[in-house]
Amino acid sequence: MSEITTTVAPVPMLDLKRQFALIREEIYAAIEEVCESQHLVLGEAVQAFERESASFLGAKAAVGCASGTDALWLALESCGVGAGDSVITTSFSFFATASSIIRCGARPVFVDIHPDTLNLDPGQVEAKLYSAGAAAVKASMPVHLYGQCADMDRFERFSRDHSLKIVEDAAQAFGASWRGRRAGTLGHAAGFSFYPTKNLSAFGDGGLVTTNDAEMADHVRRLRNHGSRVRYYHEEIGWNSRLDSIQAAVLRVKLKYLDRWNARRREIAARYDQMLVDCRLAAPASRGGWAAKEPVRLLCTLPQAHHIYHQYVIRVKRRDELRPFLTARGVGSEVYYPVPLHMQDCFSYLGYREGDLPHTELAAKEVLALPIFPEITDDEQQRVVDALREFYR
């Protein structure tokens, strides 16, 4: 088959220029205010964003930092995770989930995911907690993958029954909720990312730690500033992880629109679901398996979860043939994530082998993210589904 070229504009995975065009003047005014003040690091804009984001999430404290990766490390450190400890988490996540644990001197313990949601499987976590060596487990780090909260009912019970600290990896979940409580308030501490691709995004790197514990918040504030509460007096070894005022100013503008943008993402995801079912590429999302006749499987959203669709991800057959086909038709796609963390070369010393986490390993071969951002048009969505239908016809 000859290569297909398209004369229409491609459908990108993400187009930040469309968002910027809508809020350009507000962004410029916010940045100018910081420039005029010359309070460029941990200035008034940072303090205001911390207050506003804590209010938005329903957290008692929010502490800005330099990146989502640092936010996870700071959250773990504030929970007392350190050398000799283990932290149960998922292997099906971005690298920072595991690297932040190792940065604390602790050891990640990878547990399999649930195939219906791709979030950490609470049943597998429970089995691990009752296995040999569980005494060293200090914390669990559930990841709210793609914008859907993990089953926090179960993790709260694990915290009570096993004296575990729960640190939410909420990097993809600003605005998501579980039973009406927003991500960032469901554990002892949480880490968010404001990388430019996120639902709430900065003009570079940025992160946030949230907690309902005032002492932990104070600890994070020291740690992000070289372990110092008073300039040049250092109580502990911290790190330089301060949030720039310009990033905070941008985030303050965007925070006002976030609920609206997240609602639009939910509409887009629901439309994808319906379109894929209507053209018989997928069956309606349901728990417990994948019928062999459909080439696409929809992920489940748990009834307790308010999903904000940082990514719209499906499971597909013949994925590695499908992706170049979509590219040739101008349709963007991405794979989150092609190599599970337990199979990464840098973590080989942990001793995991292929087959240890079968659901995780299979998902890595099947997941595909389709274009989703608030400004995507109905016509662009139709082109995405038409390309999928053409491939599987």
Domain that holds residue 338: 258-392
pLDDT at 36 over 70: yes
DSSP string, 99-163: HHHHHTT-EEEEEPBPTTT-SB-HHHHHHHHTSTTGGGEEEEE-B-GGG----HHHHHHHHHHHT
Q: What is the pLDDT of residues 128-182, one digit of tens each?
A: 998 866 678 999 999 999 999 999 999 999 999 999 999 999 999 999 999 999 9
User: Identity (one letter) of the amino acid at 63?
Assistant: V
Same domain, 42 and 173: yes
**For position 132, what pLDDT does the model report?**
61
Same domain, 266 and 245: no
285 domain-assigned: yes
pLDDT (average), residues 296-303: 97
> How many of the other CB atoms lie within 10 Å of CB of 127?
13
Q: Which of 255, 277, 294 is the last residue of a domain?
A: 255
78 domain-assigned: yes
Confidence of residue 366 (pLDDT cuts 50, 70, 90): very high
379 domain-assigned: yes
Report the alpha-carbon distance of residue 370 to residue 328 in Å, rounded.
15
Same domain, 144 and 237: yes
Same domain, 227 and 290: no
Per the CB < 8 A criterion, the answer to whether 336 and 179 are in contact is no
3 domain-assigned: no
**For position 2, what pLDDT does the model report?**
42
Residue 255: C-alpha distances to residues 190, 211, 303 (Å): 18, 19, 26
Please state the pTM of the whole predicted model: 0.95
- Of the chain, the percentage scoring pLDDT greater than 70 comes to 96
Report the alpha-carbon distance of residue 219 to residue 228 in Å, rounded.
10
User: Identity (one letter) of the amino acid at 7?
Assistant: T
Same domain, 296 and 317: yes
CATH number at residue 359: 3.90.1150.10
Dihedral angle computed from the Cα positions of residues 364, 299, 282 and 288, in that order, rounded to the nearest 10 degrees: 100
Lookup result for tokens 């010359």? 38
142 domain-assigned: yes
Same domain, 148 and 264: no
Q: What is the pLDDT of residues 262-297, one digit of tens each?
A: 999 999 999 999 999 999 999 998 776 666 689 999
pLDDT at 7 over 90: no
Report the alpha-carbon distance of residue 334 to residue 215 in Å, rounded.
40
Same domain, 200 and 91: yes
Strand locations in the chain, DSSP E?
61-65, 86-90, 107-111, 137-141, 165-169, 177-178, 181-182, 189-193, 207-211, 228-230, 233-234, 296-298, 305-306, 312-316, 367-370
**For position 122, what pLDDT does the model report?**
96
Same domain, 368 and 273: yes
- Per the structure, how many domains does the chain have? 2
182 domain-assigned: yes
Residue 61: C-alpha distances to residues 56, 67, 117, 259, 287 (Å): 11, 17, 30, 20, 36
Same domain, 278 and 208: no
Same domain, 249 and 262: no
Same domain, 177 and 73: yes
Same domain, 279 and 376: yes
26 domain-assigned: yes
Confidence of residue 313 (pLDDT cuts 50, 70, 90): very high
Q: Which of 221, 255, 289 is the last residue of a domain?
A: 255
CATH number at residue 42: 3.40.640.10
Q: Which of 223, 255, 287 is the last residue of a domain?
A: 255
Nearest to 73 by CA among 92, 50, 95, 99: 99
User: Identity (one letter) of the amino acid at 51?
Assistant: R
User: Identity (one letter) of the amino acid at 384?
Assistant: V
7 domain-assigned: no
Q: What is the pLDDT of residues 89-107, one digit of tens each?
A: 999 999 999 999 999 999 9
Q: What is the mean pLDDT of the chain?
A: 95
